Structure 1
Amino acid sequence: MQHVPLRTNPAAMMKSLSQRILLVDADEALCELLTRFLGDAGYRVSVLHRAAQLPVDMRATLPDLVVMERRFPDLDGFTALKALRGHGDPTPVIVMSSLADAIDRVIGLELGADDYLAKPFVPSELLARIRAVLRRTLAGTQPDGPISSGYAQYKQPDVCFGPYRMVYASRTVLRDGVPLCLTESQFALLSVFAQRPMQTLSRNRLAVLLQGGILESSVNVAIARLREMLPCNAAQPHWIRTVRGEGYRFVPDPAHAGAAS
């Protein structure tokens, strides 16, 4: 991997100076290269060579974003990622790996990764992805805009429906106080609906609101899987109801049956 010189403008560097990146990779040479490169771009970079130490370093460095290798001698990167999300940590994570087949990428994203970068790559591509993920994470929510994520969601009030509670601070969903094993993408999809109760959203609109996190052609499957995670009374329609010919609607109050099913 070659070092690509970076040209930055002062405003961009000032904006990124407060942003910390935790780089987790056993390859010391790669970490040194990326630390210099990202440092030149204005980021503060901490390095960790063992995935098993991730929880400790997360508490010590409080990073804005984690860039993590898929494989480690001591612990699988996906195991570390799953544990991170299982504890409700919403810090965005970019996974990088030479295992770039479609199945591995899907597994990583389903476990809560925000992006997956195949090795080898040029540092400028990683930088572009870091900036894109941080933009999504730090963006606020507009009434008709994309779903908010990461730190912007700490200000979101919890959403309750039936036995469920959506806790934005930890990006978890509780059923009668017990956390459910929703993936990051499933939480994001439910958030889109929860922030727009009783609105009918088309598949295209859902894909736009999720900012590319889901393809329009995959919406039906994604909603079917989310429904499986949120079972309701046998006599009650789904929380996310189908509006034939139009899309889907989130109904937090079972009394609002409407024309959906």
Structure 2
Amino acid sequence: MKSELMEVLKVISNNRIELIKCLTEPKTHTEICRTSNLSPSTVSRCLNLLQKYGIVNKNEDKYVLTGIGYFLMDYLDNLNEVVEFDFLKKSSQFAKFIPAELKPGIVTLKTAEKFEKPYEVVPYALKDFERMHSYALFADGIVAEELIRLVWIKCMGGVRVRAIMLSRSFKKKITTGVKVIKMMEAEGYSSSEVISALRTNLKVKVAELPIQLGILDGKVVYFQVMPDNTLESPAYISRDRKCILWAENLFEHCWIVADPADYVSKLEKNL
């Protein structure tokens, strides 16, 4: 079956995707030639092969896509959009990591605001963190004290947080976390109250991931793919519902593959 599919894709590639796109409505052979700008012999050859593999049906003198054909067209459209994301050329690990069923959703990032320098998203993140009131999902290696402090204050206010900490920065997260608690003590917070709130509202796992991700209240997503060989890649912010749903599903996949980590106990031990 795989070899059959590759043969079909080869023919489609050689004779333009427009042939499939023009079949969303029933068309005669002549109409297909006119719409696709392909020769009659080329159209006939493609149609015969596409019919053979159940991608196109013929009804009387007209041709139309089957259900498989529509799926194939959507995937081809997605692929056409995906190639515009330069970061995918630098991160094979991300492509290997993301499940097949989530790969098409990457195109929802087209609605996102792009920041070439990741640190440029910090002012936006601070404002969004301050507005957060329900839940947050994080997968990151960020050790910025102000961001961590804001999240913990939100935990003390009842916000539920699930965080996947990147393995390479886990020890630094502990060191920074201890420092943040001491800063909060100087502001009048009780360290025991902070620890108690974190035990209740902060769930932590650890993993080595090819992404950094933050989702706040299901209203905004921060996203970055980690390149294979460089330290910097664009960051994205999106408030589009489809993009957020895709990111939440991606986070759940990350959560499943991550390992449990008793982060709060390590904080308490190092105070």
TM-score using structure 1 length: 0.24
Higher helix share: 2
Q: Point out the structure with max Rg over C-alpha.
A: 2
Q: Does 1 or 2 have the higher relative contact order (CA < 8 Å, sep 6+)?
A: 2
